[in-house]
Structure 1
């Protein structure tokens, strides 16, 4: 009989410990930021909207601002596999446009992305809290926007297929 009581107490303690650990894991998971898929990966700037006022410096040392951004805008980040997948398609599309009509924003330091994008776009290096990222209300990558001649968003998304095939720049 004492063995039976000891076994029941032991099983009860193991069950209680398991319950405490489960609650601890659940609490930690709630504290984690939501994954991009959970937040929805749609751009905050909708068609017809404009980016906020910003000024930034390109990797070539030139100033770029909200008043002269027209055409294709792309947001990429270092270490982002989808960004590296999107970049060649972005470059292909950008090569049909005037270089001044294309802006690429790279979060972090990624020499490979900068080298790929520089021949067809003005490239800005900045963090996710940088001026251009903030002006576009952009918090995820990759993201692409197509702007008309007045600087209004025509379309946006996280892949080139989200943009219309004709270019408005």
Structure 2
């Protein structure tokens, strides 16, 4: 009988130590989660700020011409792909950002077939000039697009001011 009591006490102490270690691991995981949340996202595939746009000339869905010379005021550009699930998820975020931040000019580049881009064009409304072109088209090459979705702030001198993977991180000032 005394052996049984010693065994039960030993198992109880062992379980208590295991519980303490588990709680310590959980606390450390929470600390690391907070640290990771505070870290800025890495953007290795996005073009660096200060990069000038390449030359291009395309026709938007509304019939207007968009070229390098069209950047006469700060412009927000959203880049989407019709076959990208993240692009469909970020579309409402982009339209809400445009309505809230009210940038001077807003362009959207949608890569893919024109028939597949109708959802994007309809969701963005009249406030956004939409350009639809195949992957690797002239506007996409000028922006040096390498990931979808991407969001850019382009200055009035056609130089990229900021490139982000989320529209809310763009440093946009409201129009007057």
Q: Fold match, TM over 0.5? A: yes
TM-score (norm 2): 0.65
> Is the 1:91–1:117 contact (alpha carbons within 8 Å) kept by the matching residues of 2?
yes
Per-residue CA deviations over 1:2-29 (Å, capped at 9, x if unaligned) read xxxxxxxxxxxxxxxxxxxxxxxxxxxx
- Paired with 1:106 and 1:124, the residues of 2 have a C-alpha distance of 6
- Answer yes or no: is 1:42 the counterpart of 2:48: no
- Answer yes or no: is 1:147 the counterpart of 2:154: yes
Per-residue CA deviations over 1:84-108 (Å, capped at 9, x if unaligned) read 121112112223134xx11100011
Per-residue CA deviations over 1:115-167 (Å, capped at 9, x if unaligned) read 11232211000011111001111132101101122222111021124322x32
Name stretches of at least 5 consecutive residues in structure 1 with no aligned partner. 1-39
> Is the 1:146–1:168 contact (alpha carbons within 8 Å) kept by the matching residues of 2?
no
- Paired with 1:120 and 1:88, the residues of 2 have a C-alpha distance of 14
> Is the 1:83–1:142 contact (alpha carbons within 8 Å) kept by the matching residues of 2?
yes
How large is the Cα RMSD of the aligned pairs? Answer: 1.9
- Paired with 1:124 and 1:136, the residues of 2 have a C-alpha distance of 13
- Answer yes or no: is 1:60 the counterpart of 2:62: yes
- Paired with 1:118 and 1:57, the residues of 2 have a C-alpha distance of 17
Q: What secondary structure, in the 3-state scheme, does the structure 2 residue paired with 1:86 have?
A: helix
1:12 maps to none
Q: 1:94 to 1:59 in 2, by over 3 A?
A: same
> Is the 1:74–1:104 contact (alpha carbons within 8 Å) kept by the matching residues of 2?
yes
- Paired with 1:168 and 1:148, the residues of 2 have a C-alpha distance of 14
- Answer yes or no: is 1:134 the counterpart of 2:164: no
> Is the 2:108–2:129 contact (alpha carbons within 8 Å) kept by the matching residues of 1?
yes
> Is the 1:157–1:163 contact (alpha carbons within 8 Å) kept by the matching residues of 2?
yes
- Paired with 1:105 and 1:146, the residues of 2 have a C-alpha distance of 13
Greater than 6 Å deviation, 4+ residue runs: none
